[in-house]
């Protein structure tokens, strides 16, 4: 297939590109606006690969999207492009509305026109796979059952509200226009190439540099964690095997509190690069909670595991060790990112 993939220079998108080039024969047309969190380096062998082309364009630009479809004539769409950092959505929600809502609408319209012009087997095989988050479901209390594909929506932040809106648009285009869509919702991802404002790279890099490790509240907020390469493989499986109109909840069955995550990172670094000043847990600082901070997210992936014959291969400890090792081995990349893109910007705090 020729796959039009949006956001392919982002954290999850680049993992999908790498998986597609390494493990399939598909061609990738990568559409990315190249915002602050995008990295061509994350494409690895995708740079210059004969089955990958990078198109620098904004998904909210209707003329540009029409041109992309006309030029590249894709067989399917994988839509991952999104603004995704909750803290940034609180400080500046307009970019989230523009990219996540207007951008998704614009892409859907371009895809609808493209699909209408297809015939025969290509029209039958066309898919629009929209990649979303578990944050659209709101927050869970400690004893609540995990999110499933049937959990009602209850977004709490500008980020999750705009992702919820985009999910609804995708489903509306399926029901109203017959566009063959798929939706997947996932939990927190982690792994190589993640921008250093997110919890795991932020804590890893701060701990390496002897800086404070900021943790919201008392650190009891809980997230379900999925290694990004596992998610990439699952997304391709949704695209190839998913049922039109269906939703797939993709999770790793690895819930941890934020404080557990931070302490595990400290222990891994203490083993690998001991700090003469002492164990890194001494750097943990509890800070004021952010507005509307959801207590717990967790996905029950049972339906997806059964329907797609897929289970996340990595447990959290194995995946986190691989991630920490990657950041240790790729210091020039993240030092460059911090120097070039964090100058004058406030750092995030632990999710």
Which residues does the annotation mark as catalytic? 134-135, 159
C-alpha distance across the termini of the chain, in Å: 37
State how far the Cα of 314 lies from the Cα of 229, in Å rounded to an integer: 9
- Name, in order, each residue with C-beta under 8 angstroms of 350's C-beta and a sequence gap of 6 or more: 199, 202, 203, 213, 214, 215, 216, 219, 258, 261, 262
What is 281-337 written as a DSSP string?
Answer: GGGEEEEPPPTT--SB--B--HHHHHHHT------HHHHHHHHHHHHHHTHHHHHHH
Taking the CA of residue 85 as centre, how many other CA atoms within 13 Å lie in the half-sphere pointing to its CB? 22
For residues 227 and 288, is the Cβ–Cβ distance under 8 A? no
- Strand, helix or coil for residue 54: strand
CA 218 to chain centre: 26
CB atoms within 10 A of CB 17: 31
Q: Encoding tokens for residue 320? A: 């986190």
State the DSSP string of 124-171.
HH--EEEEEEGGGG----TTSPPB-TTPPP---SHHHHHHHHHHHHHH
- Which among 118, 193, 185, 113 has a CA at the least distance from the CA of 148? 185
SS3 assignment, position 32: strand
C-alpha 163/C-alpha 186 separation (Å) is: 12
Phi and psi of 188, rounded to 5°?
-60, 130
């Amino acid at each position: 297939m020729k796959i039009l993939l949006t956001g392919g220079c982002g954290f999850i998108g680049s993992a999908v590109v790498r998986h597609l080039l390494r493990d399939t024969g598909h061609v990738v047309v990568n559409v990315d606006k190249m915002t602050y969190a995008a990295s061509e380096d994350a494409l690895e062998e995708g740079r210059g690969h004969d089955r990958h082309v990078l198109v620098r364009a904004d998904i909210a630009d209707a003329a540009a999207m029409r041109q992309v479809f006309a030029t590249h004539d894709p067989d399917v769409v994988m839509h991952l492009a999104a603004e995704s950092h909750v803290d940034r959505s609180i400080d500046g929600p307009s970019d989230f509305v523009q990219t996540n809502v207007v951008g998704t609408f614009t892409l859907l319209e371009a895809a609808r026109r493209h699909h209408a012009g297809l015939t025969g087997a290509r029209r039958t095989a066309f898919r629009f796979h929209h990649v979303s988050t578990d944050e659209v479901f709101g927050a869970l209390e400690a004893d609540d059952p995990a999110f499933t594909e049937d959990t009602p929506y209850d977004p709490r932040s500008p980020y999750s509200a705009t992702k919820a809106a985009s999910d609804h648009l995708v489903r509306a285009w399926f029901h109203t226009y017959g566009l063959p869509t798929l939706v997947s919702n996932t939990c927190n991802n982690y792994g190589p190439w993640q921008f250093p404002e997110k919890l795991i790279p932020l804590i890893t890099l701060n701990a390496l540099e002897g800086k404070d490790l900021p943790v919201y509240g008392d650190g009891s907020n809980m997230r379900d964690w999925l290694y990004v390469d596992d998610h990439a493989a699952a997304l391709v499986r949704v695209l190839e095997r998913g049922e039109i109109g269906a939703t797939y909840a993709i999770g790793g069955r690895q819930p941890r509190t934020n404080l557990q995550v931070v302490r595990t990172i400290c222990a891994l670094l203490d083993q690998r690069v001991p700090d003469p000043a002492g164990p890194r847990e001494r750097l943990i600082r509890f800070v004021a909670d952010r507005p509307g901070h959801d207590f717990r997210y967790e996905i029950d992936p049972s339906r997806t595991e059964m329907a797609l014959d897929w289970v996340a291969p990595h447990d959290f400890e194995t995946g986190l060790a691989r991630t920490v090792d990657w950041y240790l081995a790729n210091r020039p990349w993240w030092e460059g990112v911090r120097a070039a893109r964090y100058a004058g910007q406030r750092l995030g705090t632990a999710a």
